[in-house]
A and B are shown apart, each in its own frame.
Chain A
Amino acid sequence: MSKFQKKQANTKQQVPTAAMPDIIFMLLIFFMVVTVLREVELQVRVDFTRADNIEKIEQKRLVSYIYIGPEILGGGQYGDTRVQIDDALIDDIYAIRRLMYDKLMEEPRLIVSLRVDQKSEMGIVSDVQQELREAGTLRINYSTLRGTQVPM
């Protein structure tokens, strides 16, 4: 009998799979918590502008969005610049005051994120800002991407 006989490992070579569902559930719960389902259908085009000195909004639950941009007409056509809050286009700009005031009552620490198309003009942005001032929602955030402007 050879002295150098190969030693046979007598354990079974199997990965234990009993804990797998638990791991999967943990992953699942992580993604469920992280997921924010897209709740609005955009009716205006919003191409973000870029800036360098930006900050993150940490508490997403406090954020309410206002979209400003050219209305999407379909077929690659764009209409006039409009304001969208939640799912509706706003016809009367003075309605923003009441809408935002109601939101502020629900969430006193509200942050309004202005998502404005880069080709918009300041006039309408400023009108919206005046309405926000009247409503008392004073914390705003101009949504931008990180990075310097691409020269055109």
Chain B
Amino acid sequence: MQLKKRSREVAEVPQAGMADIAFLLLIFFLVVTTIDVDTGIGMQLPPPPDPDQEPPPIRERNLMNILVNAQGFILINEERASLPEVQQLVMDFVDNQNRAQDPNLSESPRQAIVSIKTDRQTPYEIYIDMLDEVIGAYRQLRDEASMREFGIPYRQYNARVSREDNVIREMYPQNISLAEPDPGS
């Protein structure tokens, strides 16, 4: 019996077109990709209020009340303030211990609380502008402290240490409280 002799072919995938396919895919992903970074103002919300528990007592001087009304006017402790003033006022209030030592302002940065309250009709835009100023005040205070203690800006310092070891953050915690808005008209 004679077996049919099979010619052994070497199985080969043609590879010449591979580069073209890769190019096509590459172009697809190039077109589709949007390298956008999400930026924004980070905040930590307070946990839901416990109805059985009274809120802890806070001394009047440690609380800074910022109210933004429906017309976009800013009231700080019942007094009118303009947006560019907010940063300086917050800095004076939070860092009172190391500055003027005014008996009406906070005892120490750690005890200082900035409370932000809005009306229901307050434009979001103005609220963010105001929040930006408050965050800016904290950022500047942290920057100053970091330059004083370590001789580098806070951003660099923050990148070097872990969250637990961050003494500057400990020194100036962002105690920002978001109050529930008034029902308004």
Interface residue ranges, A against B (CB under 8 Å): 20-21, 24-25, 27-28, 31-32, 34-38, 49, 51-57, 60, 63, 111, 113, 116-123, 125-126, 129-130, 132-134, 136-146, 149
Instruction: Pick the most buried of A36, A122, A129, A149: most chain B CB atoms within 10 A of its CB.
Output: A122
Is the CB–CB distance between B40 and A31 below 8 Å? no
A52-B136, A63-B38 known, 5 other contacts, Cβ within 8 Å: A21-B18, A57-B37, A129-B45, A134-B48, A142-B43
Is the CB–CB distance between B29 and A31 below 8 Å? yes
Is the CB–CB distance between A144 and B38 below 8 Å? no
- B81 at the A interface (CB under 8 A): no
Q: A144 to B32: give the CA distance in the assembly, Å.
A: 23
Is the CB–CB distance between B40 and A28 below 8 Å? no
**Residues of chain B with a CB closer than 8 A to A31's CB:** 26, 29-30, 33
Is the CB–CB distance between B26 and A143 below 8 Å? no
Is the CB–CB distance between A141 and B42 below 8 Å? yes
* Pairs across A and B, CB under 8 Å, 16 listed: A21-B15, A25-B22, A28-B25, A31-B30, A35-B32, A51-B41, A51-B131, A53-B139, A63-B38, A111-B42, A122-B68, A122-B120, A129-B45, A138-B47, A139-B45, A140-B45
Pairs A-B, 3 closest by C-beta atoms: A123-B120, A31-B29, A51-B132
Is the CB–CB distance between B124 and A122 below 8 Å? yes
Q: Is the interface of B mostly helix, strand, loop or mixed?
A: mixed
Is the CB–CB distance between B124 and A24 below 8 Å? no
Is the CB–CB distance between A138 and B41 below 8 Å? no
Q: A3 to B108: give the CA distance in the assembly, Å.
A: 89
- The total of chain B residues at the interface (CB under 8 A) is 46
Is the CB–CB distance between A56 and B180 below 8 Å? no
Q: A117 to B178: give the CA distance in the assembly, Å.
A: 20
Is the CB–CB distance between B139 and A142 below 8 Å? no
Q: A117 to B125: give the CA distance in the assembly, Å.
A: 8
Is the CB–CB distance between B181 and A123 below 8 Å? yes
- Which single residue of chain B is at the shortest CB-CB distance from A35? B33
Is the CB–CB distance between B48 and A113 below 8 Å? no
A35 to chain B, nearest CB (A): 5
Instruction: Pick the most buried of B15, B127, B139: most chain A CB atoms within 10 A of its CB.
Output: B127
Instruction: Pick the most buried of A56, A121, A134, A145: most chain B CB atoms within 10 A of its CB.
Output: A121
Is the CB–CB distance between A21 and B132 below 8 Å? no
